[in-house]
């Protein structure tokens, strides 16, 4: 009998079709997730006009989904460590697709806000769970890159929302882009069939059969024997969803700093996703041109997210994240002052702000041990929604005051500076993103195969 060290096995696994399947499914979930969130921002001017609401009311309407995301991140992130991530992700997709489509059937700002709140529960629950899942299965050498590539799905979803808004809102009404959000329900059967469950969850469930099935797919180069058992390092054996674990083993201060960083990052993102189009129309651009800025913003996000992941795997992820916050502050200031070429500046803003989000999720996925990873990321994402909720309301208030355009962007840039300080205060030494495999004595598969080959020859 041998003890198979699952963490070491996943950390050192060569990239295979198994990993690409996990990445693809998580990526597609975030594409739909990003679309469902961004669709309200792209349609906001049309919604305001048809429903006859002022900027402040529109800000609260845009924030209704973000309130739901706060609850979804905390509750569904924690629940996933208890009932499994695969089932929770199916629930998330159901919520954000059905209720976003339902919002398109409303003509009242209050009912619209209720539908968006319920959709937000699913949107908020999906992000920490796909991040935790990708962090668990990605090999160490490409973990940061795979997590941030996955996060590109969020930006691509936003780009699709903007493209469909340009194509359909003026001719078919704002409702059309909301109805399109019902399509992700078709993804649920694929999630339940092809997405593997969390290894740590299966160990707690003592589901040896499914563990063996996943290991065979992930590592077809090794052969399991009937008496082999699976183990995890001590820090990954904590009982599921222990919120106390977020504050134990010198993690308390760093956990609070991660929350602060997420608050500031999400403030930037949702201030821009909700109001960038409107701010540019206030600057004198028509709706089509303003949507071009939104497209440039999200196109830049793709470059920033992938580039950030590539840098994080080669440099210290903490300082890479700090640098991205700093670039966000500088580029937001330049955008406010109308620095040309303005589309390029908007792209840099997207690279720095949405790229920072991908880095924060990758950092959090490495910081927390597997047993509390969904819980840690769920709380970080949920608490971070404080910034996401406040952003549309505060920027809406500034817009209603008819302040100069630059002051709106400077207020967002100031928040980015606070985020950089928070990340700098995180204690990276408490992260479990190192190769500490604990005291488990792992089987040497090369030695086993050599013995088996000798037996066959004899």
Q: How many angstroms separate the first and last alpha carbons of the chain? A: 23
**Least confident window among 157-161, 176-180, 424-428, 435-439:** 435-439
Whether residue 455 is predicted with pLDDT greater than 50 in this model: the reply is no
Q: Could you tell me which of 367, 392, 295 has the C-alpha nearest to residue 128?
A: 367
pLDDT value at residue 1: 46
458 has a pLDDT exceeding 50? no
What pLDDT does 387 receive? 87
Is 401 buried (19+), middle (13-18) or exposed (0-12) by CB count in 10 A?
exposed
User: What is the reported pLDDT for 29?
Assistant: 92
User: Comparing 32-46, 275-289, 442-456, which segment has the lowest mean pLDDT?
Assistant: 442-456
CA distance 372 to 237: 9
- At residue 313, the pLDDT reads 78
435 vs 418: which has the higher pLDDT: 418
> Cβ neighbours of residue 168 under 8 Å, at least 6 residues apart?
176, 177
Confidence of residue 323 (pLDDT cuts 50, 70, 90): very high
The fraction of the chain above a pLDDT of 90, given in percent, is 10
The predicted pLDDT at position 456 comes to 39
- From 363, 359, 404, 357, select the one nearest 384 (Cα to Cα): 357
Q: How confident is the model at residue 139 (pLDDT cuts 50, 70, 90)?
A: confident
Q: Decide which of 247 and 184 is more confident.
A: 184
Round to whole Å and give the CA distance between 272 and 252.
Answer: 31
Question: Over the stretch 373-411, which tens digit does the pLDDT of each residue have?
Answer: 777 777 887 788 788 778 877 877 777 777 777 787 888
82 backbone dihedrals φ, ψ, rounded to 5° = -105, -40
Lowest-confidence range among 74-83, 124-133, 345-354, 426-435? 426-435
Q: Under a CB-based contact definition with an 8 Å cutoff, are residues 400 and 282 in contact? A: no
- pLDDT for residue 66 is more than 80: no
**Most confident region among 39-53, 275-289, 387-401, 412-426 by mean pLDDT:** 412-426
Strand partners, 442: 3
pLDDT tops 80 at residue 2? no
Sign of CA dihedral 350, 406, 324, 69: negative
H-type alpha helices, 337-372: 342-367
- Average pLDDT along the chain: 78
**String of DSSP letters for 190-255:** HHHHHSPPPHHHHHHTT-HHHHHHHHHHH-TTS---TT-EEE--GGG-SPTT-GGGGGTTTTHHHH
Q: What pLDDT band is residue 261 in, cutting at 50, 70 and 90?
A: very high
Mean pLDDT within 47-63: 75
Closest C-alpha among 44, 329, 18 to residue 174:
44
- Class of the CATH-defined domain 3-445: mainly alpha
Instruction: For residue range 287-317, list pLDDT tens digits in order.
Output: 666 677 777 887 887 788 788 878 887 888 8
Measured CA distances, 106 to 92, 95, 100, 147, 393 (Å) = 22, 17, 11, 36, 22
Which of the four pLDDT bands, split at 50, 70 and 90, describes residue 286? low
For range 123-130, the mean pLDDT:
86
CB crowding 200-210: b at 16 or more within 10 Å, else e = bbbbbeebeee
pLDDT of residue 4: 66
Check pLDDT > 60 for residue 445. no
Strands 3-5 and 229-231: parallel
pLDDT in tens, 19-30: 899 899 999 999
Mean pLDDT across 76-100: 86
The band of 276, judged by pLDDT with boundaries at 50, 70 and 90, is confident
Cβ atoms of 272 and 412 closer than 8 Å: yes
Q: Give percent of the chain with pLDDT exceeding 70.
A: 83
Q: For residue 284, what pLDDT is reported? A: 64
Does the pTM exceed 0.75?
no
Asked if 165 contacts 44 with a C-beta cutoff of 8 angstroms, the reply is no
Examine the pLDDT at 221 and tell me if it is beyond 70.
yes
- Classify 3 as helix, strand or coil: strand
Give the per-residue pLDDT at 118.
Answer: 92
Residue 324's pLDDT is 92
């Amino acid at each position: 009998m041998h003890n198979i060290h699952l963490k070491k096995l996943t950390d050192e696994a060569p990239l295979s079709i198994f990993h690409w399947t996990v990445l693809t499914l998580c990526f597609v979930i975030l594409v739909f997730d990003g679309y469902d969130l961004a669709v309200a921002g792209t349609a906001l001017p049309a919604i305001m006009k048809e429903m006859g609401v002022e900027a402040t009311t529109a800000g609260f309407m845009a924030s209704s989904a973000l309130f739901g995301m706060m609850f979804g991140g905390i509750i569904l992130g924690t629940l996933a460590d208890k009932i499994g991530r695969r089932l929770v992700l199916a629930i998330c997709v159901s919520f954000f697709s059905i209720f976003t489509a339902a919002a398109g059937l409303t003509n009242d700002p209050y009912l619209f806000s209720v539908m968006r709140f319920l959709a937000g529960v699913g949107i908020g629950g999906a992000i920490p769970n796909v991040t935790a899942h990708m962090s668990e299965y990605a090999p160490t050498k490409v973990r940061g890159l795979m997590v941030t590539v996955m996060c590109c799905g969020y930006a691509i979803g936003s780009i699709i929302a903007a493209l469909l808004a340009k194509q359909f809102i003026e001719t078919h009404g704002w409702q059309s882009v909301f109805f399109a959000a019902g399509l992700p329900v078709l993804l649920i059967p694929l999630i339940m069939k092809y997405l593997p469950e969390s290894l740590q969850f299966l160990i707690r469930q003592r589901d040896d059969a499914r563990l063996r099935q996943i290991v065979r797919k992930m590592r077809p180069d090794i052969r399991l024997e009937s008496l082999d058992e699976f183990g995890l390092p001590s820090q990954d054996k904590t009982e599921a969803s222990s919120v106390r674990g977020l504050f134990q083993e010198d993690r308390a201060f760093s956990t609070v700093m991660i929350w602060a960083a997420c608050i500031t990052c999400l403030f930037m993102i949702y201030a821009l996703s909700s109001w960038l189009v409107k701010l540019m129309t206030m600057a004198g651009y028509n709706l089509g041109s303003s949507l071009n800025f939104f497209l440039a913003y999200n196109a830049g996000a793709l470059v920033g997210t992938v580039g950030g992941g590539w840098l994080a795997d080669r440099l210290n992820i903490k300082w890479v994240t700090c640098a991205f916050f700093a670039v966000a502050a500088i580029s937001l200031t330049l955008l406010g002052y109308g620095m040309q070429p303005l589309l390029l500046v908007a792209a840099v803003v997207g690279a720095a702000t949405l790229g920072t989000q991908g880095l924060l999720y990758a950092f959090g996925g490495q910081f927390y041990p597997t047993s509390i990873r969904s819980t840690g990321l769920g709380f970080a994402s949920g608490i971070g929604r404080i910034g996401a909720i406040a952003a549309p309301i505060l920027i809406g208030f500034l817009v209603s005051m008819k302040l100069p355009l630059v002051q709106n962007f400077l207020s967002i840039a100031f928040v980015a500076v606070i985020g950089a300080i928070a990340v700098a205060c995180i204690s990276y030494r408490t992260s479990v993103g190192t190769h500490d495999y604990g005291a488990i004595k792992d089987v040497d598969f090369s030695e086993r195969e050599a013995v088996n080959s000798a037996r066959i020859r004899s």
